[in-house]
Amino acid sequence: MTAERHEFQAETRSLLRLMIHSMYSNKEIFLRELISNASDACDKLRFIATQNPELIGDAELAVELVADKFTNTLTIRDNGIGMSREDVVDNLGTIARSGTKKFMESLSGDQARDTQLIGQFGVGFYSAFIVADKVTVNTRRYDAAEAVVWESTGEGDYTIGVGDKAARGTEVVLHLRDDEKEFLEEPRLSEIVRKYSDHIGLPIKLIRKEGEPETINQARALWTRPKSEISDEDYTSFYEHLSHDYEAPLAWTHQKVEGNLEYTSLLYIPKRAPFDMWDREQQRGVKLYVKRVFIMDRAAELLPPYLRFVRGLVDTADLPLNVSREILQGNRTVDKIRAALVKRVLDLLDDLAANKPDDFKTFWSQFGKVLKEGIVEDHANRDRIAKLLRFASTTAPDTASVSLDEYLGRMPEAQEKILYLTGESLSALRNSPHLEGFRKAGFEVLLLSDRIDEWVVGHLTEYQGKKLESAARGDAAAAGKIETFDKAKHELEFKDVLDRLPKALNERVASARVSARLTESPSCLVAPEHGLSRQLIEILKQSGE
Ligand code: ADP
Ligand code: MG
């Protein structure tokens, strides 16, 4: 049995170094990551077994922990799918894994944040080296003729060879560093498992040389339990398992639906936006289970893109076990579930806005821009989404805190339209001459400085029966009765100047008019009522239109 020696890529080497040296106050997460891999491996096998039930037969899928004080090793063992030689090389070896480099670039030095990243980037396996100075993986894929042994000290290289593991599955043996012996103590192991892995849907057992194995977690998928039995801590730790987030979620909603459609959903709103929220390549979506069998990780079809910040899962009895991404697209059951989930999330946000304003503020600061996409994308729910929007305004010029309802509530009687002004930045907007006349009239103007706002107001033309109108449009004065002067008379009086101005400016303006909009500045540029706004023209220019 000769083993081949391979070099780690330079990237992997620095990743390992970093991992070992940066996680010292959070070492225990290695167990969460390895148990999570073992549980994934069992999920994968269970999925394959839906076509081929004799693969599992009567066997119980489980994760076993063996602490051996004599050899100073902790073993995490599963009877899941296992790995072929090729799998091992791909997953634990040369690491052409795309996550590695991005992970390195994203490390911030803040340990809490960085541990979250380990999970998010799919580099969890390497966390083994936080506590081990040598890791041996014995594995056998369910359909492979031979077993494989992988071994590394986490420095420059690893070896790979033929193994003698007879049973299907994977065994990760951690040769613990001298100062990490606490991870051989049963109470410590139980504590960590309960903290991170209690709700995993398969048993995690402590194996003892003498005495019966002890299952140390609940071993029941959390979402299948009645709500009344689940504590906030349970929901929170399940969320951490699911999302690899280190912060508690902001809010969640757990619902069992029976009748026409049959599904359970458990959806979370995180406290913080993930690093890749704006990465278009990034897969999004919630986990999909069919009758408790894990089907896929990020089923994008179950929620629209503007709710991509939602984490969680859907478990349904209404889809076939062999459902694929292709089948999900345009599937009527999926469409119905999605519509129901959107309502559910919007309800949750309504509730947050009404009852937990501070949490809603956090939500808005992290995900407001994403939610705004919903105004453009989701016609059916436009009004509900509009209700959740928050803007800066001339009344509250520093932060996006004014809702449209609040705006309407204090609108003076003389004002007929909801006024807004779009621009590059809040500070530019605050000083815009366009506001002068409205200020004087006592009309509040919403100040919109996000790139997407231009599209938002393009699609949200009305709210609660009131039209939205740009304060930069030619006849914004029609938003209310603010013109008390006789426009016709003034236009006659200044006819000569008005005619000459466009020519003097080389026709760079379409026309010149008198207006009551200004009280201090002598003139300002306004967009034509039916033309593109200046902002939109800028955006189109930038995108090369
Ligand atoms: P992730 O779990 O996010 O993919 P990891 O670094 O934790 O990233 O694991 C890398 C890969 O190694 C997994 O995707 C899986 O293919 C493989 N792997 C790790 N542990 C096991 C295991 N116990 N059984 C089977 N495959 C495993
Ligand atoms: Mg993992």
Q: What is the pLDDT of residues 290-330, one digit of tens each?
A: 988 888 888 889 999 999 999 999 999 999 887 888 888 98
- Sheet containing strand 392-393, strands side by side: 392-393, 445-448, 418-422, 466-470, 462-463
Instruction: Measure the CA angle with vertex 322, ends 320 and 328; round to 5°.
Output: 70
- pLDDT of amino acid 430: 93
Cα 493 to ligand 1 centroid, rounded to whole Å: 80
Q: Which residues line ligand 1 (CB under 6 A)?
A: 33, 37-38, 40-41, 78, 80-81, 83, 91-92, 122-125, 170
C-beta of residue 312 within 8 angstroms of C-beta of residue 351: no
CA-proximal residue: ligand 1, atom 18 (nearest): 37
- pLDDT of amino acid 131: 95
143-153 burial, b if ≥16 CB within 10 A, otherwise e? ebeebbbbbbe
Q: Residue 533: left (phi > 0), alpha (psi -120 to 50), or beta?
A: beta
Cα 82 to ligand 2 centroid, rounded to whole Å: 14
Local confidence band at 437 (pLDDT 50, 70, 90 cut-offs): confident
- pLDDT of amino acid 545: 47
For ligand 1, what atom is nearest to the CA of residue 122?
A: 3
Q: Is the pLDDT of residue 462 over 80?
A: yes
CA-proximal residue: ligand 1, atom 17 (nearest): 91
For residue 97, give the ligand nearest its CA: 1
Cα 91 to ligand 1 centroid, rounded to whole Å: 7
Cα 242 to ligand 1 centroid, rounded to whole Å: 15
For residue 38, give the ligand nearest its CA: 1
Cα 108 to ligand 1 centroid, rounded to whole Å: 24
For ligand 1, what atom is nearest to the CA of residue 123?
A: 6
Cα 310 to ligand 2 centroid, rounded to whole Å: 20
Q: What is the Cα–Cα distance from 535 to 537, expressed in whole angstroms?
A: 5
For residue 16, give the ligand nearest its CA: 1
Q: How far, CA to CA in Å, does 330 sit from each of 89, 286, 299, 336, 516?
A: 37, 17, 13, 10, 53
Local confidence band at 33 (pLDDT 50, 70, 90 cut-offs): confident
C-beta of residue 64 within 8 angstroms of C-beta of residue 167: no
8 is in an annotated binding site: no
Question: Average pLDDT of 179-197?
Answer: 93
122 is in an annotated binding site: yes
C-beta of residue 206 within 8 angstroms of C-beta of residue 213: yes
- pLDDT of amino acid 112: 63
Cα 115 off chain centre by:
17
Q: Is the pLDDT of residue 280 over 90?
A: no
DSSP state of 172: E
78 is in an annotated binding site: yes
Question: Average pLDDT of 80-99?
Answer: 79
Best of 125, 129, 287 for a ligand 1 pocket test (most atoms within 8 Å of beta carbon): 125
- pLDDT of amino acid 206: 97
C-beta of residue 313 within 8 angstroms of C-beta of residue 200: no
124 is in an annotated binding site: yes
325 is in an annotated binding site: yes
- pLDDT of amino acid 85: 94
Helix (H), strand (E) at residue 65 = strand 63-68
Q: How far, CA to CA in Å, does 92 sit from each of 141, 169, 201?
A: 15, 15, 25
Q: What is the mean pLDDT of the chain?
A: 87
For ligand 1, what atom is nearest to the CA of residue 38?
A: 23
- pLDDT of amino acid 497: 79
- pLDDT of amino acid 96: 43
